Structure 1
Amino acid sequence: MTGAPSLIGLFLAALGAATILPFQSEVVFAALQAAGRAPVWLLVVVASVGNTIGSVITYLMGRGIERFRHRRWFPFTERQIDRAQTWYRRWGLWSLLLTWAPFGDAIALAAGLLRTPPGIFVLLVAIAKTGRYIVLALITAGLIG
């Protein structure tokens, strides 16, 4: 059984991976699973919650982004924001099911910028993030892939 530090590390890696920070949670998740350090369901829950909260942070950044958009230190280019908004307007709420993908941070940011209702945002993002870690767990266990 794993100790709290391993689960906290997984939570922080998953949270960071869903923000603009350069984190990778898949390696931490797979390593803990392969080592048998915790039940797989617990790893899925911890990673999913952390990754969903990270997306909520990015969403909240999107809600307040307009006032900082033209600052030199701002982490997104006008082109990145415009592309995310275009994508989100085209595909709407269902694009939130792709927040598990590498470009998912931009979708979460656009959802905040375009004022998506928070409850719907969290529900769809939680489904996407949980599905991601379930698939990762199955791949790590050699059951698919």
Structure 2
Amino acid sequence: MHEFQTHLWIVVFVATAGNTLGALITYGMGRLIPNKKQEARSLELLKKYGPITLLFSWLPIVGDGFCLGAGWLRINFWRSFLLILLGKFVRYLVLAAVSLHMFS
């Protein structure tokens, strides 16, 4: 495997791990919020579409709201973890594929 490709895979895995950890911290912060009415757009989407919304936790602005809302709504941690991880991995996989195409 070309050295660039090897480094790209390392970047994908490190970026996915770091970004997922950050999202899980946000999820944990959501668990600390008392059950009070909250009307954030991301929370509305999370209530409407359920945990699958966490696949889009990589989106700017609303993505953090999805993670926070998932914690606040007490969505199962492991389900949340897997959906967040998958969404973020696919994001970095796409970015890596684009980079590989651009720099190969």
Shorter-chain TM-score range: 0.7 to 0.9
**Percent of aligned positions that are identical:** 38
Which structure 2 residues correspond to residues 84-103 of structure 1 after superposition, within 5 A?
84-102=42-60, 103=62
TM-score when scaled to structure 2?
A: 0.83
Give the structure, 1 or 2, with the largest relative contact order (CA under 8 Å, sep 6 or more). 2
- Counterpart CA distance in 1 for 2:92 and 2:34 is 32
1:118 to 31, 55, 77: 77
SS of the aligned residue for 1:116 comes to coil
1:140 equivalent in alignment to 2:102: no
SS of the aligned residue for 1:85 comes to helix
TM-score when scaled to structure 1?
A: 0.61
- Counterpart CA distance in 2 for 1:85 and 1:99 is 12
CA displacement 1:126-145 (0-9 Å, x = unmatched) = 000000101111122236xx
Greater share of residues in helix: 2
CA displacement 1:20-49 (0-9 Å, x = unmatched) = xxxxxxxxxxxxxxxx5x611111110000
* Alignment size in residue pairs: 97
Partner residue, 2:30: 62
Q: What is the CA RMSD across the aligned residues, in angstroms?
A: 2.1
How far the C-alpha of 1:62 sits from its partner, in A, is 0.5
Paired residue type of 2:21? I
- Counterpart CA distance in 2 for 1:142 and 1:47 is 19
